Chain A
Amino acid sequence: MVSTPTVAGAVLGLAIQLYCNGMRKLPLMRHPWEHVLFMGIGAYAINELVAWEYRTEAALEKKKAELLRINKNRPVESLPRIF
């Protein structure tokens, strides 16, 4: 079963290649292997983006909890004195 990000990425890659050919006033399906290449790159990029999103969400939650803890226990006297 192909996942949604893979399909979305492949469609995006294909659209980008079609758009490039259209902008360059070339036949839309010129060099079909380039379309396949762009579909592969698109699928990989979107899958990586989704994976990155999960990773960043977890890191954010961790950081948020840490900051709230620091905020809670922050007496004025704890500031380092440099002057």
Chain B
Amino acid sequence: MLDRAELLGLFPEILLWDTTLILLVLGMMVARTPARPAAPFVRTVAWLGLHCVLLAIVLVGVGIPITINSIHDILLTDSFTHCCDIFLLVGTAGTIMLIVDHGGRDTLRAFETIVLILLSTSGMLVLISASDLLIMFIAMELQTLCFYVLAASKRDSECSTEAGLKYFLLGAFSSGLFLFGCSMVYGSTGVTNFEELGILALTRSWGVPDPSTGIPIIGILCIVVGFLFKITAVPFHMWAPDVYEGSLTLVTAFFSIAPKIAIFANMVRVLNHCFHDHDWQSLLFFASIGSMILGTVAAMAQQKVKRFVVYSSIGHVGYLCIGFAGGTTMEGIQSLLIGLLIYLFMTVNVFGLFCAVRPVRSQYLGDLGVFGKLHPLFAITFSLTMFSYAGIPPLAGFCSKFYLFFGAIRCGADVLAGLGVVTSVISCFYYLRLVKLMYFDLPGEYMIPPRLDRDNSIVLAITVACITLMFLYTSPLFLVTHYMAMGLFAESGVGFSGSVA
């Protein structure tokens, strides 16, 4: 039986599940009426979904971030999960706000898209709070199963169907590998709870005689590979370009934002709580190097907008993995969280811009040329986001890269920091190429830029404000990430040493 505190901690998840069920039933009832057009109903469902997510943000925000172990210690709520939940819900709300207006367009006809987004978000909330290998796997599967359907949601498109199928096959393989790792860990230790695994790892690293055979390295590596697949880190990124390109732009936006927050949060929890011996460190080290290099080199050759964004995202995953360079230190975790939050704002902004120009032909990078001439404010916003992605001061992207590299140097990973700087400089070439395309190249054909809808313009305004002002007023960013990192270390039982702030 749940007590009051446990129930309050689970309110956001329960709210999302209830809304999902209600919207599904409502959709079934309305969809049976043939006279009713689909588009306005999708818009209504999107509005209801958005309000549900905003209510969930309020529920999480007003709650006190105290440490609660719920349902026989399989879920853990603390200050770290509290803030990660807010990041995730903000990212989801941003994505749904981009979707609302698209309800009336041809690209998004099915109300199930919103329902699946809400259902996968609830899975991600559970994933962030997961404190047990089994519940972690179940939450990850709940999220991923929704993603398979979302990827194939453009039913009359061959590319979308291919994307869904490809994602399903490779996702099933990675889930199998992940489960295999979990079963190996359970087989050799007899426990699945993070806290118990952490105590076992501590006794081993402190030289206390180990009653069991210890945690097998191969099991840990299988789990880490499962994580790397989900965050599209090299060499497990192969599925991402095709899946992201084949899916709807709005679904691609959701894939690029929400799961990365949930998986990174869970990854930090697992690696910090359970596996302190850093057997996984070299794997993440090489994944980070590979992602930075491949993301930079491959993005240069892209002509299509979505593929460009995907490779850019792979490069940023490489930068974020630098946060794990020194194992799980306070500096590393804090810089990772700073990078993740800034990545969230930049990605919402860039997809907001792409969604805004979706009605006109904007599949190729060359099509963006028209906006420099006909919509100067759009061009300025796009340029600011590209400068931020490139890490040029005084924008938020610089802040993110600076603290990631600074954290790596503090942890002794000078190679990663040096390579990060080199790849950042190279990446400036293709980010600035887009700015050149808009301002200096003549477009192939002129077209009337579409008028943005209200929701999209508000999302763009807020994200642009964050990108430009975060560098000037960094203390809230530092405080929240420091608070989260400290909450994580307080719960892990491994103590802490110093901080960036």
Q: Give residues in A with beta carbon < 8 Å to B.
A: 12, 15-17, 19-20, 22-25, 49, 52-53, 56-57, 59-60, 63-64, 66-67, 70-71, 74, 76, 79-80, 82-83
Chain A residues with CB below 8 A from B238, complex form: none
Most chain B CB within 10 A, of A23, A53, A64, is at A23
CB-CB contacts below 8 Å: B153-199 with A: 191, 196, 199
CB-CB contacts below 8 Å: B312-341 with A: none
Known: A12-B465, A60-B479, A67-B496. 6 other contacts (CB 8 A): A25-B451, A49-B476, A60-B483, A79-B203, A83-B200, A83-B211
Q: Give residues in B with beta carbon < 8 Å to A.
A: 191, 196, 199-200, 202-203, 206, 208, 211-212, 356, 375, 377-378, 381, 451-454, 457-458, 460-462, 464-465, 469, 475-476, 479-480, 482-483, 486-487, 489-490, 495-496
A10 to chain B minimum Cβ distance, whole angstroms, is 14
Least CB separation from A59: chain B residue: B483
Q: CB within 8 A of A71: which of B457, B465, B495?
A: B495
Least CB separation from A77: chain B residue: B208
A8 to chain B minimum Cβ distance, whole angstroms, is 9
Least CB separation from A72: chain B residue: B495
Establish whether residues B206 and A76, one from each chain, have CB atoms under 8 Å apart when the complex forms. yes
Establish whether residues B377 and A15, one from each chain, have CB atoms under 8 Å apart when the complex forms. no
A70 to chain B minimum Cβ distance, whole angstroms, is 7
Q: CB within 8 A of B377: which of A19, A49, A70, A79?
A: A19
B446 to chain A minimum Cβ distance, whole angstroms, is 16
Task: Give A15 to B495 CA distance when docked, in angstroms.
Answer: 44
Q: CB within 8 A of A53: which of B203, B461, B479, B490?
A: B479
Establish whether residues A56 and B451, one from each chain, have CB atoms under 8 Å apart when the complex forms. no
Q: CB within 8 A of A79: which of B199, B451, B458, B490?
A: B199
Task: Give A56 to B489 CA distance when docked, in angstroms.
Answer: 17
Establish whether residues B208 and A76, one from each chain, have CB atoms under 8 Å apart when the complex forms. yes
Chain B residues with CB below 8 A from A22, complex form: 377
Establish whether residues B200 and A24, one from each chain, have CB atoms under 8 Å apart when the complex forms. no
Establish whether residues A19 and B452, one from each chain, have CB atoms under 8 Å apart when the complex forms. no
Chain B residues with CB below 8 A from A74, complex form: 495
A68 to chain B minimum Cβ distance, whole angstroms, is 9
Task: Give A78 to B196 CA distance when docked, in angstroms.
Answer: 15
Least CB separation from A23: chain B residue: B457
Task: Give A22 to B454 CA distance when docked, in angstroms.
Answer: 11
Chain B residues with CB below 8 A from A20, complex form: 454, 457-458, 461
With A15-B465, A23-B452 as given contacts, are A82 and B457 in contact (CB-CB < 8 Å)? Answer: no
Chain B residues with CB below 8 A from A67, complex form: 486, 489-490, 495-496
Task: Give A19 to B380 CA distance when docked, in angstroms.
Answer: 11
Establish whether residues A60 and B482, one from each chain, have CB atoms under 8 Å apart when the complex forms. yes
Q: CB within 8 A of B452: which of A24, A60, A64, A83?
A: A24
Chain A residues with CB below 8 A from B495, complex form: 67, 70-71, 74
Task: Give A19 to B469 CA distance when docked, in angstroms.
Answer: 15
Q: Could you write out 23 A-B pairs with CB less than 8 Å apart?
A: A16-B462, A16-B465, A19-B377, A19-B457, A19-B460, A19-B461, A23-B356, A23-B377, A23-B378, A23-B381, A24-B451, A24-B454, A53-B476, A59-B483, A63-B483, A63-B486, A64-B486, A67-B495, A70-B495, A74-B495, A76-B206, A79-B202, A79-B203
